[in-house]
Structure 1
Amino acid sequence: MTIGYQLKDIAVEIDDLILDANNYRLRNGHEHEEVSDSKMETDNMQKEVQRLLAKQKLGDLKESIKQNGFLEVDRIVVRQSSASQKLIVIEGNRRTAAFKSLILDDKEHRLQLGENLKKKSKDINVVLISGSPEQIASYSSTLMGIRHVSGLIWPLKSRH
């Protein structure tokens, strides 16, 4: 049986990751007009997505990254942009936004990150999905359901 898409582990720099302006978290239950990849990559759109994601309680996530490092237990999933060589984040937008924010805070001298975090920002392990747009959309929907909707997938044992 062929699944139609391919997954590949790659290492990227934080600056190569584009926050997804079509992320379901940004819709807030409202109708959403799809944003093209080329528009998504603009500085203005990325700043707007970063601002909207900041409302998703990124402070705790930023603090966790500062304290514990950027952990890759739960990999960021990306797809190739149709407009450039950049990679659009399918899963992991909040973590990516938090890490980007920390890197920017360091560059603008609002805080000082340790060398390990700075080095990690140049070598993040992600999963690249490739395939047709329909295959990628199907995979993305399935991934969102598994990670964000279904919750626990194993039965809990009773304490009786």
Structure 2
Amino acid sequence: MKLEKVTVAIENLLLDPNNPRFADISDDVLNIDKSRFAEPTIQAAAYEKMTNPKFDVITLANSIATVGFVPVDNIVVGKLNDNQYYVIEGNRRTTAIKYLLKQHSLGQTTLSNDKIEKLKTVDILVVDDSENATEYVGMIIQGIRNVSGIKEWDAFQKAQFINDMIDKGKQPGEISRTIGMSVKEINRYYKTYSVMLQFRTDEEYAGKWKPSYFSHFDEVLKKPALRTFFDFNDETFRFDNITNLKRFYEWIVPDEEGKATISDAHNVRRLSELIHDKTALNYLDDRNLDKAVNYINQKYFNQNKITASECLNKINSAISAFKNILAEGLEKELSEEEFSELKAGIESMNENYKRVETLKNNGHKSV
């Protein structure tokens, strides 16, 4: 990786109109050709997106106004032409500087001449000017900092980055070594991105698509029963049962009152208990998750009354499975979400054990 340090005028530093972060605030397709990056309209649109409150550029600008621009991390750029560069890493810092200079020129804030002069030029690192090298090295830098780094992108942004890498011919193993994510996680993000793209391009539901639905589809793909219900295709990474898929869209998209049948990704896990029962599905189609869950719970209770000994046998099986995680070294394969789920389950069991202990002791006292 070849990086050259140069000093450039801030006006010649262009924001990236294809910044992956924009997926979180806009449904625009991020495929603007590099030859058009310098167009004023495109730069104005990128600036407007970067000043969205979600990116908190104003806070950063206020910090720079107070203490000056401290280049703890270099702004990394690609060369567009002899005078202009486009930002690969550091769009937020670049926007903050442009914002301060704009506010000063409009009289909305007043900075000293010394601060103004210092902000007009910045030191940057220019990636190798080879077309392919610039693009690939830029992706590596973004991946290291934002996929597995200290300032992580949201799940959909990570998945979009991984999808872009794979589209450029990179294998999951190579991506794993580059950005520090496991191959298992990379494949998971890629598959979920694919079904999200299917949602995003649906003629009927595309307008209701949001990046935040990523976790809903991630939960679907974790459950074999749900993958079967939606007929997940292991070759195309798409769902083939369009009828059931559109039902799912209806369940997660808010109605006219802003209420969704399945408003939380955690509730998607409950679906595997409901999809095999026609009555429960009817309740779901009527936008009543609670009624569907209560119906299944009552039905299960009536059909599966068990003894304390049977419960204890199941608990012992779970304990044995937990011990196997340690004995086989399987803890290395647990994702962060799986680990969190395991932790929550154990904490819940501890609370329930205390209740059982209290109730049993009270029962002995009353005898």
CA RMSD, aligned part only? 2.0
Counterpart residue type for residue 133 of structure 2 = Q
- Equivalent in the alignment of 1:26: 22
Q: Kindly indicate whether the alpha-carbon contact (under 8 Å) linking 1:76 and 1:89 is maintained by their aligned counterparts in 2.
A: yes
Provide the C-alpha distance between the structure 2 equivalents of 1:133 and 1:60, rounded to a whole number of angstroms. Answer: 35
Q: Is the 8 A contact 1:70 1:117 kept in 2?
A: no
Separation in 2, partners of 1:37, 1:139: 16
Q: Which runs of 4+ in 1 moved over 3 A?
A: none
Segments of 5+ residues of structure 2 without an aligned counterpart are: 151-179, 181-367
Aligned to 1:128: 126
Q: Following TM superposition, by how much is the alpha carbon of 1:44 offset from its aligned partner in structure 2, in angstroms?
A: 1.2
Distance, in Å, in 2 between the alignment partners of 1:59 and 1:102 is 9
CA deviations over 1:83-115 (Å, ceiling 9, x no partner): x63110111001101110110111111111122
Count of aligned pairs: 148
On the 8 A contact 2:128/2:134 being kept in 1, the answer is yes
The match for 2:8 is 12
- Aligned residue for 1:45? 42
Distance 2:103 2:74 in 1: 23
Q: Residue in 2 aligned with 1:93?
A: 91
Contact 1:16 1:86 in 2 (8 A): yes
1:106 aligns with 2:104: yes
1:150 to 148, 151, 163: 148
Q: Distance in 2 between matches of 1:66 and 1:108?
A: 15
Matches of 1:121 and 1:19 in 2, distance apart? 16
Greater radius of gyration (CA): 2
**How far 1:37 sits from its partner (Å)?**
2.7
TM-score by length of 2: 0.38
- Counterpart residue number, 1:69: 68
CA-to-partner distance for each residue in 1:44-92, whole Å, 9 max, x for gaps?
Answer: 111111110111111111111111111111110111115x631101110
The answer to whether the Cα contact below 8 Å between 1:91 and 1:144 also exists between their aligned partners in 2 is yes
Q: More strand per residue: 1 or 2?
A: 1
Cα distance in 1 for partners of 2:115, 2:32 equals 31
Name which structure has the greater RCO, CA cutoff 8 Å, separation 6+. 1
Q: Which secondary structure state, in structure 2, belongs to the residue aligned with residue 121 of structure 1?
A: helix
Cα deviation digits, residues 8-45 of structure 1 (max 9, x gap): 00011111100010111112385734212332211111
Q: For residue 158 of structure 1, what is the aligned residue in structure 2?
A: none
Alpha-carbon distance in 2 for matches of 1:109, 1:31: 33
User: Displacement, 1:123?
Assistant: 2.7
Q: Does the 8 Å CA contact 2:17/2:30 hold for their aligned counterparts? A: no
Amino acid at match of 1:17: L
